[in-house]
Amino acid sequence: MKSLKLIFGFIMGLCLTATMTSCDDDEDNGVSVPQEVLSAMPGTYVNSMEYGEATADSAMTVTLGTADMQFNLPVSNIIKDVVAAENLEQALNTYKADTCSVSYRISGYANNIVSMTADSCICNFEYQAGENTVKATADVAVTTASYNGEDNKLTLTLNIKNVKIDGKQVEDYTATTVTLPATEKQQDNQQDKENFLRTDSKHNLYL
């Protein structure tokens, strides 16, 4: 009887160890992505972006790091949707905006596509209305982010909502999708420098 108890206890111990190991494996099981793909991802991507169903006034610049990304929003298009006609021209000429910065995690890899899940953020911008500086914010969510390891292109989709002016939400602003189509990483050549000049860099809030 004592031997049976010892054997039973030994079996139970093995089962418990296996269960604990299994849990640890699940917790530590990251997404497996080829190193050459991971190494190729970081960089700067510049392309025209879509604001809703129209092409935005400016290009988007995305700087992709190993765990975070920065990008600009089509702030002039947002301003056109929320600023009164009598202040619109001045707002478009004077606005400044910060660059959105979010952390991301790799959530999947299949068929050469790296899928990423990113945090949300709040974009700050400001503009002049008469003698006043108007401060505004917009909530930004990264709804899709992916990198194609076969053609080395980044695709990004954002959702902009809850625009607030001086802390008060603009009730008639409709949540809008912003899309960066599949875009190759920027190379150090003249064309890319010209593309960069098409972004909102001159309106950066911190320059």
pLDDT of residue 30: 83
State the Cα–Cα distance between residues 172 and 159, nearest whole angstrom: 16
pLDDT of residue 168: 97
| Contact (CB, 8 A) for 170 and 196 | no
State the Cα–Cα distance between residues 70 and 87, nearest whole angstrom: 29
pTM equals: 0.77
CB atoms near residue 205 (< 10 Å): 14
Structure token digits, residue 130? 């008469």
Distances (CA, A) of 59 to 48, 73, 78, 111: 4, 9, 14, 29
- The answer, yes or no, to whether residue 19 has pLDDT greater than 60, is no
Q: Where are the alpha helices (DSSP H) in 29-118?
A: 35-40, 75-82, 85-94
State the Cα–Cα distance between residues 111 and 150, nearest whole angstrom: 9
Distances (CA, A) of 167 to 78, 100, 129: 16, 19, 16
CA angle (51 as vertex; 44, 188 as ends), nearest 5: 20
Distances (CA, A) of 137 to 52, 67, 129, 153, 192: 19, 24, 16, 30, 30
- Assign 56 a pLDDT band (cuts: 50, 70, 90): very high
What's the mean pLDDT in 140-160? 97
Q: Which of 25-29, 34-38, 105-109, 177-181 has the lowest mean pLDDT?
A: 25-29
State the Cα–Cα distance between residues 36 and 185, nearest whole angstrom: 15
| Contact (CB, 8 A) for 196 and 183 | no
**Tens-place pLDDT, residues 129-139:** 999 999 999 99
C-alpha 129 chain-centroid distance:
30
